[in-house]
Amino acid sequence: MAETVPAPAAPRRAGPPPARDAPTSGSARAGPPLPRTRVALLDIDICGPSIPKMMGLEGEQVHQSGSGWSPVYVEENLGVMSVGFLLSSPDDAVIWRGPKKNGLIKQFLRDVDWGEIDYLIVDTPPGTSDEHLSIVQYLSAARIDGAVIITTPQEVSLQDVRKEINFCRKVKLPIIGVVENMSGFICPKCKNESQIFPPTTGGAEKMCQNLNISLLGKVPLDPQIGKSCDKGQSFLSEVPESPATASYRSIIQRIQEYCDLQHFQEEKII
């Protein structure tokens, strides 16, 4: 499957709940505690909103205040907004044409009171449809850092991803890099790796070389990832020793380094 995740860091300052300070233990270090990164997660997969379930937020509702819609908070520094919070049942089908989808995306960006945030991460559906065009258009003045594109190793997925990459280039959306998901299976007992989805044309690595794009990393198959998503639990916390956890952390680090570099360059220009 191909999926574009644009704007990891679109607005960088926007007001409520103050984030908790980073946890400390006794006198482990002196000085004031470091602030936690404030993150907003916006799910614009209008017809298939899965973020509420994966974040353990099923059944939560959006509340309105004088300053707009309040996002649902996983933690004090992680707010989420999704059409899934507006449905009476998680099984309800959203059967909307483009204009209605676009209107809701605009409302999410305009009317949600995210507060002061460091990163806005937008989860999009697969493909290059209305949602992608809308989010790029509406955030055009926000200096989007870029898109993270997700693929799996087989050619049928890479075909879609090449279209995603072409879309990003046509709309002048920077590409942070590509993540290869389901990249082999590492046996938890013998530690040998098996290719469940063989990269018959070289996988994401070969594609990134051909298109001059960064390969951010490869996430191996781990059945616990699906279980954690179904239960709304953090995979990184539940299975900290998994090779997939190490891969996730490396990918996150590379994305953050990219964004920090972009912000530093912007500050130098200003």
Burial of 176 (0-12, 13-18, 19+ CB in 10 A): buried
Residue 5 has pLDDT above 60, yes or no: no
Percent of the chain at pLDDT exceeding 90? 63
Burial of 92 (0-12, 13-18, 19+ CB in 10 A): exposed
pTM: 0.84
Instruction: Output 67 or 246, whichever has higher pLDDT.
Output: 246
Residue 204 has pLDDT above 80, yes or no: yes
Domain membership flag for residue 84: yes
Domain membership flag for residue 21: no
Are residues 157 and 136 part of one domain?
A: no
Cα 68 from Cα 108, distance rounded (Å): 10
Phi-psi region of 155 (alpha: psi -120 to 50; beta: other; left: phi over 0): alpha
Query: CATH code at 154?
Result: 3.40.50.300
Cα 117 from Cα 139, distance rounded (Å): 15
Are residues 209 and 85 part of one domain?
A: no
**32 pLDDT tier (thresholds 50, 70, 90):** low
Residue 186 has pLDDT above 80, yes or no: yes
Q: How many CB atoms lie within 10 A of CB 141?
A: 8
Are residues 54 and 155 part of one domain?
A: no
Are residues 90 and 48 part of one domain?
A: yes
For range 46-55, the mean pLDDT: 94
Domain membership flag for residue 126: yes
Residue 206 has pLDDT above 70, yes or no: yes
Are residues 123 and 4 part of one domain?
A: yes
**191 pLDDT tier (thresholds 50, 70, 90):** confident
pLDDT of residue 189: 80
pLDDT of residue 261: 87
Strand partners, 79: 40, 73
Domain membership flag for residue 123: yes
Residue 14 has pLDDT above 70, yes or no: no
Are residues 140 and 7 part of one domain?
A: yes
Domain membership flag for residue 28: no
Are residues 231 and 101 part of one domain?
A: no
Residue 15 has pLDDT above 50, yes or no: no
Q: Is 95 helix (H, G, I), strand (E, B) or coil?
A: coil
Strand partners, 179: 150, 217
pLDDT tens by residue, 124-178: 998 888 899 999 999 988 888 999 999 999 999 999 999 999 999 999 999 999 9
**13 pLDDT tier (thresholds 50, 70, 90):** very low
pLDDT tens by residue, 193-203: 889 999 999 99
Which of 129, 145, 161 marks a domain boundary? 145
pLDDT tens by residue, 95-121: 888 889 999 999 999 999 998 999 999
Are residues 136 and 69 part of one domain?
A: yes
Mean pLDDT for the chain overall: 85
**3 pLDDT tier (thresholds 50, 70, 90):** low
Domain count, the chain: 2
Are residues 267 and 220 part of one domain?
A: yes
User: Which residues form the domain of 224?
Assistant: 149-171+178-270
CA angle, 209 then 128 then 206, to 5°: 15
For range 11-30, the mean pLDDT: 35
Max intra-chain CA distance, the chain: 57
Instruction: Output 99 or 268, whichever has higher pLDDT.
Output: 99
Domain membership flag for residue 188: yes
Are residues 139 and 220 part of one domain?
A: no
Instruction: Output 65 or 44, whichever has higher pLDDT.
Output: 44
Q: How many CB atoms lie within 10 A of CB 263?
A: 15
For range 56-63, the mean pLDDT: 91
Q: List, in order, residues 6 or more apart from 148 with CB less than 8 Å away.
A: 4, 5, 8, 176, 177, 178, 179, 216, 255
Determine the residue type at 158.
Answer: L
Domain membership flag for residue 263: yes
Q: Which of 172, 169, 260, 255 is nearest to 215 (CA)?
A: 255
* Cβ 26 vs Cβ 137: under 8 Å: no
Positive or negative: CA dihedral 78, 256, 8, 162: negative
Percent of the chain at pLDDT exceeding 70? 85
pLDDT of residue 9: 41
Are residues 45 and 130 part of one domain?
A: yes
Cα 241 from Cα 98, distance rounded (Å): 43
Domain membership flag for residue 27: no
Q: Quote the distance between the C-alpha of residue 190 and its chain's center.
A: 32
Are residues 200 and 133 part of one domain?
A: no
